[in-house]
Amino acid sequence: MENRQRLTILMVPPGLWLLLLFLVPLGVMALYSFRPAAPDAHAARLTLDNYREFFANTAYQRLLLRSLWIASLVAAVSVVLAYPLAYFLAFRAGPWRVTLLTILIVPAWTSYLLRILSWRLILGSNGILNSALISLGLREEAAPILLYSQAAVTVTLIYVWIPFVALPIFASLERINKSLLEAAADLGCPPWQAFLRVTLPLSMPGVLAGFFFAFIPTVGEYVTPLLVGGSQGIMYGNVIQDQFLRGLNWPLGSAMSLVMLVVVFVLMAIALRFVRLRELVEV
């Protein structure tokens, strides 16, 4: 009974914080999505016109699907690249584990905007990549490489999310009982088969958590496409930003945001049918 009271007391501050900074703003946005878009319309009248406009505009829907595809690609590639890194830290790093883990996290201490701008310089006309190709004689003149394209957005976001994807995978690998691998070896299981039948299945909660770590924020990303994507790399988040800041159409922007939120929740619900939520929390 006493432990339950302590747990309740400890849960109250974060619960209030979540209510004030997440649930209340989300509720306000939901109310805005049912307001008329016209500034002279009666504020108290609720309408579904914003949702009708979204579903009538196929360009919005195609852009949402494209953003979902980019987010899936970024998350999948990040998992593929982060898994060997996490595996090395968990099973091969030894006494250097903490040092290497710190080095992995250090770039995240730098401003997110500065890291994006650095890739703009790398891929630009006078960037490192372009200068190296000219020096090797592979290019004759300076020109942007991948910059202002969907590929530039994808590459930049993969770079950004690899450390964050590696952390839950590392935590999941750390929880694996090493005696299981020893038992597999004693039974004549080769290393590659032990990995596929023991290590990989037991680390799937961390893999799924890392995937959603990258997938969820990438769906609504707007800063990276704005800086390195240009008109070819525009994503769904850029349109939402334009509705709020340029078009001053907050009701439509809110409706588009909620549609994206529902789609992400549905995809997460489908994924959680294969992995228990408790396993993700314990990662």
Domain range list for the chain: 50-282
| H helices, E strands: number in the chain | 16, 0
Judge whether residue 280 has pLDDT over 60: no
pLDDT of residue 263: 93
pLDDT of residue 261: 93
Q: Are 117 and 226 in contact (CB under 8 A)?
A: no
User: Would you state the CATH architecture of domain 50-282?
Assistant: Orthogonal Bundle (1.10)
* pLDDT bracket for residue 144 (50, 70, 90): low
* pLDDT bracket for residue 257 (50, 70, 90): very high
CA 21/CA 123 separation, integer angstroms: 37
Q: Are 65 and 260 in contact (CB under 8 A)?
A: no
* Top-confidence residue, 64 or 135: 64
pLDDT of residue 43: 55
Mean pLDDT of 187-212: 87
What's the pLDDT tens digit per position in 37-73? 766 555 567 888 899 999 999 999 999 999 999 999 9
Distances (CA, A) of 93 to 86, 99, 100, 134: 10, 9, 8, 38
pLDDT of residue 142: 61
Backbone angles phi, psi at 222, to 5 degrees: -135, -25
pLDDT of residue 67: 95
Range in 30-39, 49-58, 140-149 with the lowest mean pLDDT: 140-149
Range in 13-17, 78-82, 87-91, 262-266 with the lowest mean pLDDT: 13-17
- Whole-number average pLDDT of the chain: 84
* pLDDT bracket for residue 14 (50, 70, 90): confident
What's the pLDDT tens digit per position in 207-251? 998 999 999 999 999 999 988 888 888 999 999 999 998 888 899
CA 175/CA 276 separation, integer angstroms: 16
Backbone angles phi, psi at 224, to 5 degrees: -65, -50
Instruction: With both helix axes pointing from N to C terminus, report the angle between 150-174 and 97-105 in degrees, rounded to the nearest 10.
Output: 150
Nearest CA among 240, 242, 231, 243 for reference residue 153? 231
Q: Are 215 and 74 in contact (CB under 8 A)?
A: yes
